[in-house]
């Protein structure tokens, strides 16, 4: 089956620093990847849509300068949280759409804690 | 119009019982309706999905019922087991929409607990 990995699975960083999260489609090519944020006991909130080789499309209210997204290849997208603050602490989940099929597959998520 | 309303917010079912989660949508352009299962600390996993030209789809103990005229769809979990305890999200998407990257619209989620 289609597998999406995320790295790291959890990270703790100090306020003011930046942290990068990687999302990889392991056994399929993904022209589109999505980044979500999820708070406890809430639904997934789409942050941005990332297309390979082009700029990401951010949802309304998401700061593009704070959440930098790069989709450098058909199997890798990265989310960099710049100048992180405690309010950025959350569960970040990526998903990838199979180029050949249609389904969207989710990664295992990354728990970010900013101290 | 992009909302997907999901109920109940939480559900407790006895082992062996039937769990039923309901979703309703407004956008008639939606043409694909997946359900996702999420365990604590994990990403969502696709459970089962249906297209609007089908009224019911069954995979093992999981069944989706779809009512196109009412714009409603539901997930039934037969013979519910403690291992089914998780959060379930319905979703909808317009696969033909080329703008905005074909985004999934998620329901608010249902926390299911199956008790022994």
Q: Which residues of A touch B30 (CB under 8 A)?
A: none
CA distance A54 to A60: 19
Q: In terms of DSSP bridges, do strands B10-14 and B110-115 run parallel, antiparallel, or are they unpaired?
A: parallel
Whether the CB-CB separation of B57 and B64 falls below 8 Å is answered with: yes
What is the reported pLDDT for A52?
82
Contact A106 B43 (CB under 8 A): yes
What is the reported pLDDT for A101?
66
Going across the sheet that includes B62-67, the strands are B4-7, B19-25, B72-77, B62-67, B56-59
* Residue B20 C-alpha from the chain's centroid: 10
Of B45, B103, B107, nearest to A106 by CB-CB distance is B45
Q: What is the pLDDT of residues B7-60, one digit of tens each?
A: 999 999 999 999 999 999 999 989 899 999 999 999 999 999 999 899 999 999
Q: What is the pLDDT of residues A57-112, one digit of tens each?
A: 999 999 999 999 998 888 999 999 999 999 999 999 999 988 766 788 999 999 99
CA distance B86 to B79: 15
């Amino acid at each position: 089956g289609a597998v999406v990995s995320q790295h790291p699975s959890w990270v703790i960083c100090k306020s003011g620093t930046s942290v990068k999260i990687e999302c990889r489609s392991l056994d399929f090519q993904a022209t589109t990847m999505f980044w979500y944020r999820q708070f406890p006991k809430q639904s997934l909130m789409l942050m941005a849509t990332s297309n390979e080789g082009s700029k990401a499309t951010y949802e309304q209210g998401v700061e593009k300068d704070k959440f930098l997204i790069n989709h450098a290849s058909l199997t890798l997208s990265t989310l960099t949280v710049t100048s992180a603050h405690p309010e950025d602490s959350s569960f970040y989940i990526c998903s990838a759409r199979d180029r050949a099929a249609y389904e969207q597959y989710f990664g295992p998520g990354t728990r970010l804690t900013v101290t | 119009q992009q909302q997907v309303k999901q109920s109940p917010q939480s559900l407790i079912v006895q082992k062996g019982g039937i769990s039923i989660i309901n979703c309703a949508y407004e956008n008639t352009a939606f043409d694909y309706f997946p359900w996702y299962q999420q365990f604590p600390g994990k990403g969502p996993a696709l459970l089962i999905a249906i297209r609007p030209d089908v009224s019911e789809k069954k995979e093992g103990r999981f069944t989706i019922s779809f009512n196109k005229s009412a714009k409603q769809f539901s997930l039934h979990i037969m013979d519910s087991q403690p291992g089914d305890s998780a959060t379930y999200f319905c979703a909808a998407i317009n696969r033909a929409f080329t703008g905005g990257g074909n985004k999934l619209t998620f329901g608010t989620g249902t926390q299911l607990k199956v008790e022994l």
